[in-house]
A and B are shown apart, each in its own frame.
Chain A
Amino acid sequence: MEPAVEIVDLVKRFGNTIAVDKLNLSIYDGEIFGLLGPNGSGKSTTLLIISTVYKPTSGDVYVYGKSVVKNSDEVRKYVGIAFQEPKALWVDKPYEILLWHAMVVGYSMSDARKVVRQVMEDLGVWEYRNKMFSELSGGNKKKVELAKVFIQKPRLAIFDEPTAQLDVITKHQVWNMIEDLRRNGSTIIVATNEMSEAERLSDRIGIMYRGKLRALGTPEELKDGIPGGDIIEIIVDGPVRESFVEAIKNDIDAVRIDLKDAVIRIYVNKGEEKIARVVDMFSRGGLKVRQISLKEPTLDDVFFYYTGAKLAGDNN
């Protein structure tokens, strides 16, 4: 089957900054794809190129087989995007903004009125319809931005950090609406920093770091893919020397150890057998252990593993 989106050797530079660095990625028709990555990793830039707002420096993106470079007019017929930063003139009113949007994406005047009202009610912003955009709260601005895509129901729906400023209840509402959209046939890309969001929504997840794709798979695959399936997490008082970390690593045959501030994460196999030995080594090393735990990796760990501070065991 032809993928919904095919990103081929995509490069995007802004002056000396490389925002996207030879990215290759396919997104399947009908899936919800989560794009994860720390700030500045190139998520938004990638999404803006897919929606033909920015042009690639080199490489190309095919959306349902149409090139964003050669056929951007065609690509835009398939794509709708809710931007990370809501885009509207500050003097505009939400109802006007969305009515105009609905007409532009193809609704007749009377259908536009209906769908705008429906979506605004679903998102809980109907009562603000005639306020000035600049007077809305951050979260409500974001909801108006999201409403654009829910109104449009595009074949490829792109959400850039959709729930970043939303309260918990609205977050769940938005997730449900995104799932509904997929049920009605849209392919969906969601960029996010929030693991819970990615895990809740995504069929597959891609993790970007410095413009490159570092990991790709279902949430389960990613968690299983971390070498040393168990993680011993230790919080200590005082600084930890690198040589000490290296010694532990060799002693218990850890796959890798990440050290960030006072938190030490040891990736090992058979963690339950090694935890006692670790505690022992710490006390002999004169370090006071405040807290120690053994856990299965979460998506946070996956994220941390691929993008976080690396000290030991980094063979990339």
Chain B
Amino acid sequence: MREDLRALLLVTLWDVRKVARYKVFLLMRFAWFIVQVSVFAVLISYLVTIRSLGTSGIGYYEYYLFGAYTALLFSISMFRGYEIAEEFEEGIIEYQLSLPIKRRILAIGRTIGGGIASFIYTLPMMLFILLLLGITNPVLIAIAVLSALAFSIGIVGLAINIVFGLKSGDKTDILFGVVDALLVRLSTIFYPLPFLSVFPPYFYAAMYNPLSNMADFLRALFFFQDLKIFIHAPPENLVSYIVGLSVGLSILAMLFIERRVEGGGWK
């Protein structure tokens, strides 16, 4: 058991230590994000006037910030998951499969590691938002960090499942594009759920969409009083959904990888 935990930690490190290598990528993403939330978000929030319900003047701007963050975390996690699966095709997996690590630990470790790495990429963005909004409550911040982490692990798991669920590389690329585009669109990332009720399929898709649950959870966490009419479920449901998603998808990813390598090896 101790050995397994040690192995798990080391496998996780395989992905986490890569973060440092993408400094330039990270910086550009960060710069773009700052433009997005300080220019576009402000402009949009002038266009979209939502009657502020609280007395604090909280409105679409705050709503948008969490959406933008969630969308970013999602696309970076999908990308990491895709990269992990790509490594499988490129021979690194042959090396890792030869190591004295249980297959199960290897699979779950790569998923968790990918999730942590994705989250670390987005940490500056999250801190920037919190700074913009003047949020300082350490407990709330810790909850936000943990839920974002769970979310990114789940999404990495989702990406791995897509790659292993499909045999052909072309199909995988297409499905990735579609999932990426659809999940961001059919969510409450930018449009509050009540506005979507004019079109029921859209409404329900958005309601069960992991991105909606993540973004709405962050909104509820920090601005429950002001944004509650836009949020479709109680925060504890949202967070349960995220944790459930994360656990479910990473276990599924683990099983997919295990099945691929059952009976010894993977080819």
Interface residues in chain A, defined as those with a beta carbon under 8 Å from any beta carbon in chain B: 14, 48-49, 51-56, 68-69, 72-73, 76-77, 79-81, 83, 85, 87-89, 91, 96, 100-101, 103-106
Q: Are A85 and B266 in contact (CB under 8 A)?
A: no
B residues in contact with A85, CB < 8 Å: 91
Expressed in whole angstroms, the Cα–Cα distance for A190 and B43 within the complex equals 67
Please list 27 pairs of residues, one from A and one from B, whose beta carbons are closer than 8 Å in the complex, sorted by A's number: A49-B265, A52-B98, A52-B265, A53-B94, A53-B266, A53-B267, A54-B264, A54-B265, A55-B261, A56-B264, A68-B264, A77-B100, A79-B98, A79-B100, A83-B95, A85-B91, A87-B91, A87-B95, A88-B92, A88-B95, A89-B87, A89-B92, A100-B10, A100-B13, A101-B99, A103-B10, A104-B10
Expressed in whole angstroms, the Cα–Cα distance for A105 and B3 within the complex equals 11
B101 at interface by CB-CB < 8 Å:
yes
Q: Are A76 and B266 in contact (CB under 8 A)?
A: no
- Within 8 Å by CB of A72, from B18, B95, B264, B267, lies B264
Q: Are A55 and B103 in contact (CB under 8 A)?
A: no
B51 at interface by CB-CB < 8 Å:
no
A residues in contact with B25, CB < 8 Å: none
Q: How large is the interface on B (under 10, 10 to 19, 20 to 34, 35 or more residues)?
A: 20 to 34
CB-CB nearest 8 A-B residue pairs: A55-B264, A87-B95, A54-B265, A55-B265, A55-B263, A68-B264, A51-B98, A76-B100
Near A by CB (< 8 A), chain B positions 8-63 give: 10, 13-14, 17-18, 21
B residues in contact with A68, CB < 8 Å: 264-265
Per DSSP, chain B at the interface is loop
Expressed in whole angstroms, the Cα–Cα distance for A91 and B18 within the complex equals 9
Q: Are B266 and A81 in contact (CB under 8 A)?
A: no
Nearest to B99 among chain A residues (CB) is: A104
Smallest Cβ distance from A7 to chain B, in angstroms? 13
Smallest Cβ distance from A96 to chain B, in angstroms? 7
B171 at interface by CB-CB < 8 Å:
no
Expressed in whole angstroms, the Cα–Cα distance for A101 and B263 within the complex equals 24
Q: A48-B265, A87-B92, A96-B17 known; A53 and B97 CB under 8 Å?
A: yes
Nearest to A106 among chain B residues (CB) is: B100
Q: Are B266 and A54 in contact (CB under 8 A)?
A: yes
Q: Are A55 and B266 in contact (CB under 8 A)?
A: yes
B7 at interface by CB-CB < 8 Å:
yes
B residues in contact with A49, CB < 8 Å: 264-265
